[in-house]
A and B are shown apart, each in its own frame.
Chain A
Amino acid sequence: MSAATTSVKSAGRNYLIEFSLVLGLYAATAGGRPWLIAHAHNPSLALAATLAPIVPIWLMLAVVWRYYRHIDEYAQKRFLETLAISFGIGSCALVTYAFLTDAGLPPLALSWAWPTLAAAWLITTFVRRIADSR
């Protein structure tokens, strides 16, 4: 227990709201990037559009860290376990795909690493919740 658990009950709700907002920002900047670059009137705007998804990526880290600081000790333990498992799965998936590209699969941009790890995290969290409810 620590002072960080003062708003443990609202931590989940706040996290969901903040995470959704940042995810929406990421989708908007990443999805709208090609259009923005194509319609940018000068190179500075095109560069800003190119780099725009970086902002929500780092904001997401801040959101996750904020959530971690506001949950209780058991939730923190589970959070870290889930993160470790999903990082292992995500890393293995990425390396596996890297070798599969040598076997003929199309190469993917490095920017796919982040969504892959995020998807692994989401799936791991979901599977653990199902397992715990039994």
Chain B
Amino acid sequence: MKNTLPALRASRGMTQGDLADALNVSRQTVNAIETGRYDPSLPLAFAIARLFSSTIEDIFKPD
């Protein structure tokens, strides 16, 4: 699954570590999501969408 997370994060001036802290996950997890190696669970995807005041569909797109 593709995602716009790196762009969203950059637009907020956040590092992967900052985002990880905000989501209460590890930086490795944020990196894995951003690079498409891991698709987050629905609760985590909702948390990401909520954090960026967006929707899951706007952030995550099927390949």
Contacts and interface: CB of A to CB of B under 8 A. Distances in A.
B25 A74 contact: yes
B23 A74 contact: no
A130 interface: no
Identify the interface centre among A8, A9, A73, A74: most chain B CB within 10 Å of its CB. A74
Interface residues of B, number: 15
A20 interface: no
Identify the interface centre among A1, A8, A71, A73: most chain B CB within 10 Å of its CB. A1
Q: How large is the interface on A (under 10, 10 to 19, 20 to 34, 35 or more residues)?
A: 10 to 19
Interface stretch (B3-11, B26-34, B55-63): B26-34
Nearest to A72: B25
A53 to B, nearest CB: 33
A8 B28 contact: no
Contacts of A2: 43
B41 interface: yes
Contacts of A6: 24
A5 B20 CA distance: 12
Given A1-B41, A1-B43, A1-B44, A74 B26 contact: yes
B24 A74 contact: no
Given A2-B43, A8-B24, A72-B29, 11 more contacts: A1-B24, A1-B25, A1-B44, A5-B24, A5-B25, A8-B26, A9-B26, A72-B24, A74-B40, A75-B28, A75-B29
11 contacts: A1-B41, A1-B47, A2-B43, A6-B24, A8-B24, A72-B24, A72-B29, A73-B29, A73-B40, A74-B28, A74-B38
Closest 6 CB pairs of A and B: A74-B29, A72-B25, A1-B44, A1-B43, A74-B38, A72-B29
